[in-house]
Structure 1
Amino acid sequence: MTEARESAGPHARHAPGEPCWVSLMVHDLAATEEFYGELFGWEFRPGPQQLGPYVRALLDGREVAGMGQLPPDRRLPIAWTPYLASDDVDQTADTVRLCGGTVAVGPLDAAEAGRIAIASDPSGAVFGMWQGTLHLGTAITGVPGTPAWSELLTFETEIIAKFYASVFGYEEEPAVSADLDYVTLHLGGRPVAGLHGVGHALPRDRGPYWQTYFEVADADAALRRVVGLGGRVLRPAHDSPHGRVATAADPEGAEFSVIQDPR
C-alpha cells in the first residue's frame, strides 16, 4: 500500500462497483478543511456546487476526496460516504430500488464530474453511485493521505451481501472463521470492499454505515494529530493482519479509520 497508484490515463474508468470516491458533508466546511488539511496534508479547490458549497481535496495536486457543506437546517448524520462506480447511474439506481434499496438523491448531473446518485441499502447504510466523465474519481491511492479501504458495518452480512452482489456484480468471499461474520467483495478476482456483520454492537442511534479507511505513515502519530486538532480517538491503534489500524472522529463527529501499511 506504500506505492502510489494512479489511473491508467485520461480515459481510464473505474470498474462498475469499484469504490471510486469518498465524500463528507458537514456544517462547518472551513473548519473541516483545516482539520483534514493538517491531518492528511490535503489542499482544496472548488468542486461541483449542485448540492451546495463543495470542495475537492488534493494531495500533491491529485484529487483524493470531496467535502461539502450541509444547509443550516439539515441535521443529518455527519459521515464519510463511499461512491461506487457505475457505467449507467440511472440504470444502477433502478436496480437499487428493485433489490430493496432506496435512492434518496438523484440521479443528477454534477457539472463536468458526471452523473451521481445517493442511495441506501436495505439496512439503511448510505452510499453514492457515480458515472464519471471528465472527472474520474480518486486520482491516486497507495500513499499516506489517500483512501485505502471501504467497509460496511452492518447487523449481518448474508442478506446485505446479496443486495450489493445483485446491484454491482460482486463476487463474495466469506471469512473462513466461524466466529467472524465478514464478507469480502471482489471484482475480477480483486478485493474492493468489505462487509462486517457486528450484530447489536452497532450504535443504536446510528445503524449500519460505511467506514472509510485512510492510509497513514504512522497510525499512532496520526491519532496524536487527531486529538491535537480537536478530534477524538474511538478505538486506539492496534496491529491487525493488514497493518496497524485505529478509528477516530473529526470535530463534527465523522468517524473514519486510519491504517498503517505493515511493509
Structure 2
Amino acid sequence: MTTEAATRRIPGAPCWVSLLAHSLSATQEFYGALFGWEFRPGPQHFGPYARAFLNGREVAGLGELAPDRHLPVAWTTYLASDDADTTAEQIRSCGGTVAVGPLDADSAGRMAIASDPHGAIFGIWQGRTMMGTALSEEPGTPVWNELVTQDTDSVRTFYEHVFAFEAEAADPPGFDYLTLHLKGRAVAGIHGVGADLPRDRGPHWMTYFAVPDTDAATRRVTELGGHVLRPARDSAHGRLATVADVEGAVFTVIQPR
C-alpha cells in the first residue's frame, strides 16, 4: 500500500496533502502531538499556512480558513502535474470542475483545486522549488490516498483520461475497488462503497497516515480531543482505524504490515 516519496513526482500520483482548518494553532497542536510534526511558515496567499515537517523533511500542509468562511474541514489530496494549466483544462473537458486556480503559490509551485464529476475535491500541484511530500513510509507520513465514492465505474473513466491511470480491479470480484497504477506502480485507489457513502460528506479523497501502533494512535486521538469513527480493525495491508481531528477532519491511521 505504501509508496516511495520519489513515486509521488510522477504526473497523476498523489504528491501532497493539505488541510484548511478554522484554528491553525489548535490543529498544529493536535497533529504535532499525534504525529510528532514540527511546523514552519509556508505560502500565505490564502491566509496563515504552515508546512509540517518530520525529521526535517516536509510531509503535509496546514492552513487557516478566513473567519467568514464556514467550509467543511477536510484533508485534500494533491495529484502531481507537469503543467497545472493543461491538467485543469483536461479536468474541465472530462466533466470535472476547477474551483480555484491554477495560480502560483509563491515560488514553490503552481496549484489548483478541482473536483471530479461526482464532487470529490482534490488538488493539482505543479512543483517548482517544493515538489511535495519529501518523506514517506515512516510513522507520521501519508502512505496512501483513496477516493471513496458510490461506485468505481462512474468515475473510472474520468481519472483514467485526466491522469492516465491504469486501473486494476480488486480480487476477489464483488469488492468494488480499483487500484490505480502509474508506470507499473500502485499509487492510489478508488473504493466504491454504495449506500455506505456518508451522506454528510459525499464522495471524497481519504488520506492514510502511517503509525507504529494503530490502537495506541486511536487512544491518543481521543485524548487530544478527536474522535474514532471506525475502530481499529485488521486488513490485508495492516491494522487501520478511521478517525477525526478536533475540528472533524477525517483521516485514516494505519499500522502497515
TM over 0.5: yes
- Superposed displacement of residue 50, structure 1: 1.1
* 2:158 corresponding residue in structure 1: 163
5+ residue gaps in structure 2? none
**In 2: Cα distance, 1:6 partner to 1:207 partner:** 29
Q: Does 1:124 align with 2:119?
A: yes
Q: How does 1:23-172 map to 2 (within 5 A)?
A: 23-172=18-167
* 2:245 corresponding residue in structure 1: 250
Secondary structure of 1:23's match? Answer: strand
User: What count of residue pairs does the alignment treat as equivalent?
Assistant: 257
Deviates more, 1:210-219 or 1:176-185: 176-185
**Two-structure CA RMSD over aligned residues (Å):** 1.5
TM-score under structure 1 length normalisation:
0.95
**In 1: Cα distance, 2:63 partner to 2:81 partner:** 22
* 2:207 corresponding residue in structure 1: 212
5+ residue gaps in structure 1? none
The amino acid across from 1:242 in the alignment is H
**In 1: Cα distance, 2:68 partner to 2:100 partner:** 17
**In 2: Cα distance, 1:6 partner to 1:17 partner:** 14
- Superposed displacement of residue 6, structure 1: 5.2
Quick check: 1:7–1:140 contact (8 Å CA) kept in 2? no
Aligned-residue sequence identity (percent) comes to 65
The amino acid across from 2:116 in the alignment is D
TM-score under structure 2 length normalisation:
0.97
Once the two structures are superposed, residues 172-204 of structure 1 have per-residue CA deviations (whole angstroms, 9 ceiling, x without a partner) of: 101122321101100011000000011121121
**In 2: Cα distance, 1:198 partner to 1:6 partner:** 28
Q: Does 1:193 align with 2:188?
A: yes
**In 2: Cα distance, 1:14 partner to 1:5 partner:** 10
Quick check: 1:100–1:121 contact (8 Å CA) kept in 2? yes
Secondary structure of 1:180's match? Answer: coil
Once the two structures are superposed, residues 198-217 of structure 1 have per-residue CA deviations (whole angstroms, 9 ceiling, x without a partner) of: 11211212210000000000
**In 1: Cα distance, 2:47 partner to 2:149 partner:** 30
Secondary structure of 1:141's match? Answer: coil
**In 2: Cα distance, 1:165 partner to 1:77 partner:** 28
The amino acid across from 1:206 in the alignment is R
Runs of 4+ more than 3 Å apart: 4-8
